[in-house]
Structure 1
Amino acid sequence: MFTGIVQTQARVDAIEDKNQFRHLRLAVNPLHLQNLEVGASIAINGCCLTVTRFEEQGEQGFAEFDVIDETLRLTNLGRLQQADTVNFERSLTVGRELGGHIVSGHVHCVATVTERNDSANNCSMRLEVPVKWMEYILAKGFVAVDGASLTVGETDENGFWLHLIPETLSVTTLGRVQVGDSLNIEADQQTITTVETVKRVLAKQMAG
């Protein structure tokens, strides 16, 4: 489990592509690898991946992951290129302050950035998602975008707006996002559960 509070950015150091399989090696500050173990879960652009190998000694640390075809198909990890940056979050530790919202690291869909407007103190961008996911994305609700826990702004039939402060833009990769880019989306599980429960109750009432 994660919180959607991105801890740092990592750089794609190497990519090895095989048949329906991708091996990622990410360069990351070794401070973010302390007490890590092989088999641990880390959210990379909001996608829960398992650490297969890591190095934390010296000034530059590394973490390696295997990404299967299903993950490559459903997320933007298949589009990564060497030297790209990604959002990096270690899994939730019990007893620490909980910010953001509970995030599973299971990406539901990929959104496309259709508009971006920057001003002196903030940035607004519109993301378009498959229509079927919009019933779970509500104004003022939560959504994880490339692993960052964010509050939904205005919504429409097939998209929604984000309003980002400078801190979010600097800590995460969202500061470099441009129109046309693809971002991983995880809808709030609590919202999904509520919507699905209401739909089932209404369906039973109509059937009865």
Structure 2
Amino acid sequence: MFTGIVQTQALIDAIEDKNTAQDQFRHLRLKVKPSYLQNLEIGASIAINGCCLTVVQFHEDSEHGYAHFDVIDETLRLTNLGTLKVGDQVNFERSLTVGRELGGHIVSGHIHCTGTISQRNDTEHNCSMRVEVPSQWMEYILSKGFVAVDGASLTVGETDAQGFWLHLIPETLQATTLGAIREGGRVNIEADQQTITTVETVKRVLAARALT
């Protein structure tokens, strides 16, 4: 589990693709400050752009820490991890530990879909972005509710059938990769699980009543 509070941005330091006739496989090496790898263990979970990945190797040199991940074809297909290039920045969050302050909302790291930044409006102190997503997911994304965008816990602004707006403060733009994303950019979307559960429960109750 994660909080959606991005801890830092990591650099894609190396990518190794291992494609076969049956599937696609990608190995990622991320560079980050060593302090973010303290007490890390092989098999630990880290959210990369909101996608829960398993650490398969890590090491440090005198200045940097390196974390390695294997990404399977299903993850590459459903998320924006398949579009990453060496030199790209990604959002990085270690998994939630007991006793740690929960500043965002509970995030699983399981991406539901990807969205596209269809519009971005910048002012002196704020930034508004419109995110278009597959329409079937909009019943779970409600105005003033939570959504994780590339792993960042955010409050949903205005919504319609095809997408929603985000209104971002400078701190969010600086701390995450959202400050650099432009129109046409693809982002990972995780809807709030509590909202999904509530909506699905109400749908089942209404369907059951319709049958009686």
Under a length normalisation based on structure 2, what TM-score does the superposition of the two structures give? Answer: 0.97
Q: Distance in 1 between matches of 2:61 and 2:83?
A: 29
Matched AA of 1:48: C
1:22 aligned partner:
26
Map 1:130-141 → 2, pairs under 5 A: 130-141=134-145
Corresponding residue for residue 5 of structure 1: 5
Could you tell me how far apart the structure 1 residues matched to 2:107 and 2:101 are?
Answer: 15
Which residue of 158, 162, 169 maps to 2:162?
158
- In 2, distance between residues paired with 1:36 and 1:68? 22
8 Å contact from structure 1 (residues 21, 68) kept in 2: yes
Give, as a single letter, the amino acid of the residue that structure 2 aligns with 1:21: F
3-state SS, counterpart of residue 38 of structure 1? coil
Identity score, percent: 76
Shift of 1:57: 4.1
Alpha-carbon distance in structure 2 between the residues aligned to 1:57 and 1:16:
21
SS in 1 for 2:204: helix
Q: Which amino acid aligns with 2:18?
A: K
Deviations 1:171-208 (A, max 9, x none): 00000010000000000000000000000000000011
Q: Which residue of 2 aligns with 1:122?
A: 126
Structure 2 stretches lacking a partner, 5+ long:
none
- Partner secondary structure for residue 136 of structure 2: helix
For residues 194 and 11 of structure 1, the distance between their equivalents in structure 2, rounded to whole angstroms, comes to 37
Deviations along 1:65-99, one digit per CA (max 9) or x if unpaired, are 00000000000000000100000000001011111
Q: Distance in 1 between matches of 2:174 and 2:101?
A: 22
Cα distance in structure 1, aligned partners of 2:101 and 2:169: 21
Distance (Å, rounded) in 1 between the aligned partners of 2:60 and 2:189? 30
Cα distance in 2 for residues equivalent to 1:56 and 1:170: 26
Q: Structure 1 CA distance, aligned partners of 2:119 and 2:32?
A: 30
- 1:183-194 aligned at under 5 Å gives the runs 183-194=187-198
| Residues in 1 aligned to 2:43 and 2:61: alpha-carbon distance in whole angstroms | 19
Matched AA of 1:7 = Q
Range moving further from structure 2, 79-88 or 55-64: 55-64
Distance 1:199 1:157 in 2: 18
Aligned structure 1 segments of 4 or more residues deviating by more than 4 angstroms? none
Aligned Cα root-mean-square deviation (Å): 0.5
- For residues 114-159 of structure 1, the C-alpha deviation after alignment (integer angstroms, 9 at most, x for no partner) is 0000001110000000000000000000000000000000001110
Q: Structure 1: give runs of 5+ residues left out of the alignment.
A: none
Q: State how far apart, in whole Å, the 1-side matches of 2:96 and 2:43 are.
A: 15
Displacement of 1:59 after TM fit? 1.0
TM-score, length of structure 1 as denominator length: 0.99
Partner of 1:72: 76
Q: 1:34–1:56: 8 Å Cα contact kept in structure 2?
A: no
Equivalent of 2:58, from 43, 54, 60? 54
- Separation (CA, whole Å) in 1 of partners of 2:159 and 2:82: 28
Deviation at 1:56, TM superposition (A): 3.1
